[in-house]
Structure formats: C-alpha cells, structure tokens
Amino acid sequence: MGAAMETVSQAKSHGGVQGVYRHESKVTGTPMTFAVFVPPQAADGPVPVLWYLSGLTCTHANVMDKGEYRAAASAQGVIIVAPDTSPRGAEVPDEPDNWQFGSGAGFYLDATQAPYATHYRMYAYIMEELTALVAAAFPADMSRQGIFGHSMGGHGALTFALKHPDRFKSCSAFAPIVQPSTADWSRPALEKYLGADERAWRAYDAVALIEDGKRFPEFLVDQGSADPFLATGLRPELLERACEAAGIPLTLNLREGYDHSYFFISTFMTDHIAWHAARLKR
C-alpha cells in the first residue's frame, strides 16, 4: 500500500477484502482512518467505486460493522470507500458535549472560521487527498464513481454530486439532511464553521444548490416514516419540491415504520448498491 498509508487491518469477506487504513493527512493536518472493501472482481482489473459518507457521531466503522454492504458489493463488483466524518485528535477544536458539532460532525465542508478552518476540511480531504490515495492504492476505476450516505452523510453525498456531476455518475441517500442551512440540528454548525453570512452556507446545502442552478441526472432517497428527526432535521419534502421545480428525477421511498438507525440502512443497502451498480456499469 506504500509508505504513506498504514494497513490497520484486513479480512477476507464475500470473496473480497475488507480493509481499514490510516494515513497522515496534509489537508486536515491530522491522522485519518478510512475503510475500503475491494470485491473479488478487482483481481481481473479496475472496478467502479462507490463512496459512502456516514452521519453525525459516526466513524468509518459504523457502516463497516452494521451496514451489511459486502455481499451486495461483492455481487455487483464495486469498491466501497468509507471515510471518517471529521478530523480527530487532541489538537482539533471540539465541543465534547455537543454531538452536532466538532468531532464526528464535520458536515463534509471546508471551514473558513477560526479555530476550525485549520483542520475541518472534509470536503477537500475527500475530493482531493483521499481520492488520489484511493486511485493510487486500489484497483479503482475512477471514471466510474458513485456516492451515497446517511443523514449528515446523505447531505454530503447530495452536495458532492450536485457540485461534481462530471465526476459522480450516481447519487443516493438514506434519510439525508436536505437543507442544513435551515434545519435545527445543522444550522448552528454551519454558522460556526462558515461564519454568519448565510450566502456562504448555500454551497453546502442541497436544496440551495438546486435553487442556484446545480443539476444532477437523478437521485434515489430512502426515508423511514418513524424517523424521530424527520420533521425538523431531515424534511425530504423540501428536496422533493426543489427537484420537481428543477426537473431532476427523484425516487423518494418513504419506508413505513423504519427509524434513523442502521437497522433501517442495512435493510435497503442492497437496493442502493444495485441501483448504483446499474448506473456505474452503463
């Protein structure tokens, strides 16, 4: 894997390899850990890449341990990359008693406000540094990339796709925060990271990006009807209205009785991976 990247662990699973890796990030100024599952088809050459962005309080380990994605990824022949959700370390400013900000809550943006701007640069980290690392170290076909995520990670996936439709060929989300600039559990974080000028927040807000002219071929979203954050944090109807006004096809599945947990995510994980694979293999 090269001197720049340390292998933390590797295990065979569904014919492929589930690995965890660590490297020193120049972008965040901290060590960063991420997970990669490589399917057996990669032995014959590069395969498509599907990025999974986790939600608030999570690390790479949540989806790796509870997402139940490896059988589907192996069947479809796609690499799954799961970054962390924020920089971590004693030198990284944090609010330990606030689960909606700081460690575990990077919101996949590049902070501009002190003291957060030095380390909280998850947007550049994923788009630039980790992308280059994955391309160099794994049998990844970087011309076929998709992205999906959960909650805060669903927010990240939607915004990454809308800003980079040339790079990402598919995008889906589980219970995404569709308009973080107005949601009660994300608005305070955006102000701390990006400052008081709300115009700067629009670059990291899926609904605002669509209103401002960004487009993507189509989205798939699954949302549990019993999600306790549905009414105030997630509000998928805002994305539905924005997509309808912009002419963006959106498949929005309201799953009766499902909550916000990985029991929900793992139930529909196979559907999402198959949906991405169909588009990445065209």
Q: Which amino acid is at 16?
A: G
Distance, in Å, from the CA atom of 277 to the CA atom of 219, rounded to the nearest integer, reads: 14
Measured between alpha carbons, how far is residue 7 from residues 20, 23, 127, 272 in Å? 6, 9, 21, 28
Collapsing DSSP to helix, strand or coil, 110 comes out as: strand
Active site residue 227: yes
Of the residues 23, 150, 155, 260, only one is catalytic, namely 260
Strands (E), the chain: 5-13, 16-24, 31-38, 47-53, 79-82, 140-150, 168-174, 219-224, 250-255
User: Closest by alpha carbon to 101, among 59, 57, 149, 151?
Assistant: 57
Distance, in Å, from the CA atom of 120 to the CA atom of 117, rounded to the nearest integer, reads: 6
Of the residues 150, 181, 227, 272, only one is catalytic, namely 227
Give Cα 195 distance to the centre of its chain.
23
Of the residues 151, 172, 181, 186, only one is catalytic, namely 151
Distance, in Å, from the CA atom of 115 to the CA atom of 121, rounded to the nearest integer, reads: 12
CB 102 within 8 A of CB 88: no
CB 238 within 8 A of CB 209: no
Torsion of CA 5, 45, 154, 246, to 10 degrees: 140
Q: Supply the residues annotated as catalytic.
A: 151, 227, 260
